[in-house]
């Protein structure tokens, strides 16, 4: 679910940034991959970490943009993608439980 949210956010952000920059993207694919030790997630090994140890995000685009435009597109997509920035910055998090 986390990778799906990252792909969706990055794709929408990339499209908005491309439009803003005037970069034409005919089509494309956004791919997110991650390394995850399922022993921790499934509770099989208490010492195994829960969560991703690495995430890779890639964009395969059909575009005539030059290298400089692609670098700007990537940089601004990374900067403005809310999910990417949230993962990268590891925000403060609180949880609570209430009874109804």
Model pLDDT for residues 16-70, shown as the tens digit of each residue: 999 999 999 999 999 999 999 999 989 999 999 999 999 999 999 999 999 999 9
* Cα radius of gyration (the chain): 17
Q: List C-alpha distances in Å: 72 to 17, 40, 67, 76.
A: 9, 38, 9, 6
Model pLDDT for residues 86-98, shown as the tens digit of each residue: 999 999 999 999 9
Domain presence at residue 44: yes
The domain of 31 spans 2-89
Domain presence at residue 18: yes
CATH number at residue 31: 3.30.300.20
């Amino acid at each position: 679910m986390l990778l799906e949210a990252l792909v969706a956010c990055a794709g929408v952000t990339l499209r908005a940034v491309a439009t803003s920059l005037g970069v034409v993207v005919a089509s494309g694919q956004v791919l997110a991959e991650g390394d995850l030790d399922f022993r921790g997630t499934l509770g099989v090994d208490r010492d195994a970490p829960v969560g991703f140890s690495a995430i890779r995000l890639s964009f395969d685009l059909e575009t005539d943009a030059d290298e400089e435009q692609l670098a700007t597109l990537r940089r601004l997509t990374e900067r403005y993608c809310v999910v990417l920035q949230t993962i990268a910055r590891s925000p403060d998090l609180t949880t609570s439980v209430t009874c109804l």
